[in-house]
Structure formats: structure tokens, C-alpha cells
Chains A and B, each alone.
Chain A
Amino acid sequence: DIQMTQSPSTLSASVGDRVTITCRASQNINIWLAWYQQKPGKAPNLLIYKASTLESGVPSRFSGSGSGAEFTLTISSLQPDDFATYYCQQYNTYSRTFGQGTKVEIK
């Protein structure tokens, strides 16, 4: 099984801040990585796939980068609607695994 590890687990930031979340895979997953945003009581929402491709309708302040085993999600200027939990997910093999999540809180 491929393990996914995110850092940090919690992040305190202010509106307008640039925020970066890291996701590491236990083995090479090429570019087969997605990022999701989840708000309390809701299903996750796809933000980015293939490590850096923005899903349709997602604001351009979100961006993704990386390949192999290390990836980042960046929010260029944090907005009030962005306070949520973010998950990475690998889909390199037939199975899928998620990171443990990064909660972005108001500072």
C-alpha cells in the first residue's frame, strides 16, 4: 500500500496570507495526485488533479506542483471561504489512499 503523509496537520493563517501544504508519498507516484477541500458536514471537493491541473470552476489562487513523491498545494492569497481541511490523494495504482489532512484555521 502507498502511504500518504501531509504536513503540517494544522496551519493557522490570516486572510491574504500565502499558504503551502506538503504531501509526501511512500513511493514514486509520478503525477497521479489529487487535492481536495472539505468543509464540516460536506463531502470533499476536487481542487486539483494530475498534481497541477486545476479542476474546472476552482479559483486560480489554488495551485499544485510536484512529481514523484513530493507535492505541494499553494493558496496564493487566503480568502475567508478557504478555511477548511485539505486532503491529498494518490491514484498511481488501482487503489487510492488519502493523506491525513491539513486543517487551515483562522489566526
Chain B
Amino acid sequence: QVQLQESGPGLVKPSETLSLTCRVSGASVSSGNYYWSWIRQPPGKRPEWIGYIFYTGSTNYNPSLESRVSISADKSKNQFSLRLSSVTAADTAVYYCARDALDGVDYWGQGTLVTVSS
């Protein structure tokens, strides 16, 4: 059974960098036809795709966030990470890591609320 678990600070100050890690079990981030993804959902709003990393290491990002976002993977630990710089209150959301099977997102983490506030 594939499981994903997000970890990281729940509170980040404005202008600082948000950093989250997703630990994966039951699947490998270094093989298979999957996009290891980050998706966020502001309270009461629709999910927003942030970006993903493919097992080859190639990445794609939401154009609206591309200048501030970076996704990387640590194959030795079977995990992948998100960094979002220069955060503002608009970046407050539940952040999910997920597996995109190229035909929909079939596994999601439980989500972690990140609040941007001083």
C-alpha cells in the first residue's frame, strides 16, 4: 500500500522560505511512471497544482509559482521536498504531497496546514 506523509513547519513568517518534505512508503520515487507532486488548497478554495518531479529528476512547475518554487528528490531516503520562497499570506494553505499516475492523482498524503504569519 502506497503511503505519503508530509512534514515541516506549520508556521512560516512572511518573506521567508516554506520547506516541506514528503516521505514515501510502498513505492519508489526513483522508478515508475509517476509524477511526485505537490498540491495545495487554501481554506475553502479549490486545490492548486504546485509542481512535480519525475523519477528521472526532471521537474515542472505551475507558471504562476515557477519563480519561487523548487522540488527535489532524495532517492536514498525515498522522499521528495518542496521549497517555496518569499511567502506571503496568500501562500497559507493545506499542502499535500501526492503521486500523480499520469491519469489522475491516485495517492495523497493527509495534508499539512502551513500558515504564513508574523
Q: How far is the CA of A49 from the CA of B100 in the complex (A)?
A: 12
Contact assessment for B60 and A94 in the assembled complex, using a CB-CB cutoff below 8 Å: yes
Residue from B63, B104, B109, B110 whose CB has the most chain A CB atoms within 10 Å: B104
If A91-B102, A94-B60 touch, whether A43 touches B48 (CB-CB below 8 Å) is no
Stretch at the interface among A11-19, A74-82, A96-104: A96-104
A104–chain B nearest beta-carbon distance, Å: 16
Which residues of B come within 8 Å of A, CB atoms?
45-49, 60, 62-64, 96, 98, 100, 102-106, 108-111
Count contacts between A and B, CB distance < 8 Å: 52
Main secondary structure of the interface of B (DSSP, over half): loop
Contact assessment for B104 and A55 in the assembled complex, using a CB-CB cutoff below 8 Å: yes
Contact assessment for B104 and A91 in the assembled complex, using a CB-CB cutoff below 8 Å: yes
Contact assessment for B48 and A98 in the assembled complex, using a CB-CB cutoff below 8 Å: yes
- Chain A: how many interface residues by the 8 Å CB criterion? 23
Which residues of A come within 8 Å of B, CB atoms?
1, 34, 36, 43-46, 48-50, 53, 55, 87, 89, 91, 94-101
Partner of B109, one of A36, A43, A46: A43
A41–chain B nearest beta-carbon distance, Å: 9
Contact assessment for B106 and A44 in the assembled complex, using a CB-CB cutoff below 8 Å: no
Partner of B111, one of A34, A43, A49: A43
Q: How far is the CA of A43 from the CA of B93 in the complex (A)?
A: 13
